[in-house]
Amino acid sequence: MSDLVREKELGFVALSETGRRDYSPNFLKILCGGKDFLWHCKPPRGRYGGMLVGINLLEFNIGEIEEGGFFIKLKLRNKQDGFQWLLVSAYGAAQHHLKEAF
């Protein structure tokens, strides 16, 4: 992942089904190729789910971060031109009993 972030000069990373509740600062620094990212983690429900979103702070100002049952939504503003937009990372439940809620 870190090679991809550097090679493609990614401004953000959104991962689903991570299955983790927390991450060490060192792991996150490696994941983003050493760039200055702000990270937001949505813990999994039991053994399933979990989301991780990282934003490059050199490229974007971050407004609100909203978390729902199946999404993380971030209000972003591009530092270069001031363009404002929403980044929404969403995933559907794999478990049958959660599909209706999704």
For the chain, which residues make up each domain, given as ranges? 2-99
Coil vs helix vs strand at 48: strand
Listed as own residue / partner, the contacts of 54-59 with beta carbons closer than 8 Å and 24 or more positions apart are 54/12, 54/13, 54/14, 54/28, 55/11, 55/12, 55/87, 56/10, 56/11, 56/12, 56/32, 59/11
Question: In this structure, what are the phi and psi dihedrals at residue 38, rounded to the nearest 5 degrees?
Answer: -100, 135
Rounded average pLDDT over 28-35: 93
CA nearest 54: which of 83, 85, 76? 76
Rounded average pLDDT over 14-34: 92
State which fold the 2-99 domain adopts. Answer: Deoxyribonuclease I; Chain A (3.60.10)
Rounded average pLDDT over 9-37: 93
pLDDT, position 97? 65
Rounded average pLDDT over 40-66: 92
The percentage of residues in the chain with a pLDDT greater than 70, rounded to a whole number, is 90
Question: In this structure, what are the phi and psi dihedrals at residue 86, rounded to the nearest 5 degrees?
Answer: -110, 135
Residue, of 72 and 98, whose pLDDT is higher = 72
